Amino acid sequence: QIHLVQSGAEVKKPGASVKVSCKASGYTFTSYGFSWVRQAPGQGLEWMGWISAYNGNTNYAQRLQGRVAMTTDTSTSTAYMELRSLRSDDTAVYYCARGSGYESAVDIWGQGTMVTVS
Partner 1 sequence: QSVLTQPPSVSAAPGQKVTISCSGSSSNIGNNYVSWYQQLPGTAPKLLIYDNNKRPSGIPDRFSGSKSGTSATLGITGLQTGDEADYYCGTWDGSLSAVVFGGGTKLTVL
- Select the span of 17-25, 70-78, 82-90, 101-109 touching partner 1 (CB under 8 A): 101-109
Shortest separation between residue 117's beta carbon and partner 1, angstroms: 21
Q: Are 12 and 86 in contact (CB under 8 A)?
A: yes
Return the residues of window 48-87 that contact partner 1 according to CB under 8 A. Answer: 50, 59, 61-62
27 sits near partner 1 (criterion: CB under 8 A): no
Give the integer Cα–Cα distance in Å for 115 and 118.
10
Q: Which is nearer to partner 1, 37 or 86 (CB)?
A: 37
Give the integer Cα–Cα distance in Å for 56 and 33.
9
**Which 8-state DSSP code applies to residue 102?**
T
